[in-house]
Amino acid sequence: MFGIQNLDLTRSTTEILKHCDLKAGDEVTVYADTGKSPGIVQSFFTSALALGVETTLAVFPQRRKMLQEPSRSALSLMKASTMVVDCATDAWLYTSGLNAILDAGGRVLQVLAAEDTLAKIIPNPGQVKRAEEAAKLFEKAKEVRIVSEAGTNITGDCHGRPGWGQDGVVRKAGDWDSAATAIYAVAPLEDAMNGTMVLEPGDFVWTHPEPMTLREPIRLTVQGGRLIKVDGGDQALRLDRWLRAFHDPNSYVIAHTGFGGDPRASPDFAQEVESIEGGINIAFGGNLFRGLGGKTKAKSHVDIVVMRQSMYLDDELVVKDGKIVHPKLKGLARS
Ligand SMILES: [Fe+2]
């Protein structure tokens, strides 16, 4: 049923699964749908088989909607597995189904990255360490603030929220991660983020399924944790329309903010943008995910990444003008 394999991809998927500490007795389900690149599905399936663990490949019709749960039968299969390689085309993080799999003790590795990204970004110990350290910084922070020369000045209250660090692998029961990513974040309290965020040309807005790289500035106004105004030109209008199309007031609620940490991530590949080292993310919409401690269920989730801004956690400067400067993170992630 499969064709010739991309060797770089196979090397990477094998390395990813090795980093996931699979042991005898573990059962892996590769969950895929009809829209996914067969090369990626094949590669994870054969890599898991080669590691000698019990592996099932399940292919379902593509859902074609974001944040929509898999079918009941797919969910029960995944709940019975120790690890799920989630090769669904459309993300379903922030759903109750995903949380139920994690609560059942499964670990889930989402695979949204394209073949070239997977082949290029292989996990390494530096990335794992950096994600751990970044999560600790967010965990102890009470306040997160983003500023920029272009006019961003926005502050969120994040006290009591867990710190979230993605390293692209899942190592223990209940872990969730996304392959080939290095994203660190926190979910500010849903009603406690205020200020202005000025997006600049070259910044990125992930309006699923067609992301936008900005050619012009967009000014976002956030009040009481909600995005209340999107000002700018054509692209601002497009973002505004995209948000409205969901007819869901929760599409406007702050979901997370943080930054990326992989020097290999490139702005030329949409799935890598959120991982760009020092690129600051801010997202609105669903964030019902226990790793973030988020509370919002929504029909949408938009990730925005700005390239030249600064982030403070309490009074500590962590990212300065798009570069990671915190001493606990600076030297990591190169190998
Ligand atoms: Fe996000």
Of 63, 62, 64, 67, give the one whose Cα is nearest residue 248: 67
> What is the rounded distance in angstroms from the CA atom of residue 107 to the CA atom of residue 234?
41
**Strand ranges (E), 160-252:** 164-165, 176-178, 183-186, 193-199, 204-206, 212-213, 218-223, 226-232
- How many Å lie between the centroid of ligand 1 and the Cα of residue 266? 17
- How many Å lie between the centroid of ligand 1 and the Cα of residue 303? 5
- How many Å lie between the centroid of ligand 1 and the Cα of residue 30? 23
Query: How distant is the alpha carbon of residue 172 from its chain centre?
Result: 18
* Size (the chain), residues: 335
> What is the rounded distance in angstroms from the CA atom of residue 204 to the CA atom of residue 302?
10
Query: How distant is the alpha carbon of residue 100 from its chain centre?
Result: 19
CATH code assigned to 7-120: 3.40.50.2300
Of 185, 182, 170, give the one whose Cα is nearest residue 130: 182
Please tell me the pTM assigned to this model: 0.90
- How many Å lie between the centroid of ligand 1 and the Cα of residue 272? 13
- How many Å lie between the centroid of ligand 1 and the Cα of residue 283? 5
pLDDT in tens for each of the 335 residues of the chain?
A: 566 678 889 999 999 999 999 988 999 999 999 999 999 999 999 999 999 999 999 999 998 777 788 999 999 999 999 999 999 998 888 888 999 999 999 999 999 999 999 999 999 999 999 999 999 999 999 999 999 999 999 999 999 999 999 999 999 999 999 999 999 999 999 999 999 999 999 999 999 889 999 999 999 999 999 999 999 999 999 999 999 999 999 999 999 999 999 999 999 999 899 999 999 999 999 998 888 999 999 999 999 999 999 999 999 999 999 999 999 998 776 65
Q: Spell out the domain ranges in the chain.
A: 7-120, 125-163+180-329
- How many Å lie between the centroid of ligand 1 and the Cα of residue 301? 7
Q: How many CB atoms lie within 10 A of CB 173?
A: 13
> What is the rounded distance in angstroms from the CA atom of residue 214 to the CA atom of residue 224?
26
| Cβ atoms of 292 and 138 closer than 8 Å | no
